[in-house]
Amino acid sequence: MKNLEWKAELRDPNLARLICKKIGASKIAKIRQTDTYYNITRGRLKKREAVAVERGIGSPEPIEYIYYERPDEISPKTSDYSILSQDELHERFGQAELPVWLTVTKVRELYLLGSTRIHIDDVHDLGWHFEFEILTNTSEDTESAPAIAEQLRSTFLPALGEPIRSSYAELLEQHNSIEESKTS
């Protein structure tokens, strides 16, 4: 599966929520996610554990293993990803336990606008971030995605900070390195 995605710092989550409402994006869920990233030689692999949370009530979702490849760029980038079952994970990466790189925890507010997923993320140790994912599984989707991405970027711009080129895992690794150097 493929999508076109883009991520940025989020300076004003409340304004982003208001923009979602104004453009007709539907709030689907508020989800607490724990993503465990593994050291692999190519691409990125994470185990996602998620619990939908609203008004203090939580219900666990099935564990997903998400393998993806995408470039680290500031501009919207194509992500080629697969959601794997545990059996598919073992078939692809073997039976041995994979080495854990790090864990990212966040609370994600998920909005849908057509087939576009909009995320307002409160990432532990990193703060607020904004992300969208536009499905590009057909040639028609692929052709229209850049214009949709540019429209979303400009629409949400008043609420945003700097664009982000990498994953939350790389950002957290940088954060942890800075924190460690302060205590050394």
**What CATH number does the domain containing 26 carry?**
2.40.320.10
Pairing of strands 116-123, 100-113: antiparallel
| DSSP structural state of residue 125 | T
Alpha helices in 25-167 (DSSP H): 86-93, 139-156
Q: What is the pLDDT at residue 56?
A: 58
Q: Please give the average per-residue pLDDT across 12-22, as a whole number.
A: 98
Range of the domain at 179: 2-183
State yes or no: pLDDT of 55 exceeds 70: no
d(CA 160, CA 64): 29
Q: Tell me what pLDDT residue 184 has.
A: 74
Query: Does residue 54 surpass a pLDDT of 80?
Result: no
Distance CA 47, CA 56 (A): 24
How many domains is the chain built from?
Answer: 1
pTM of the model: 0.93
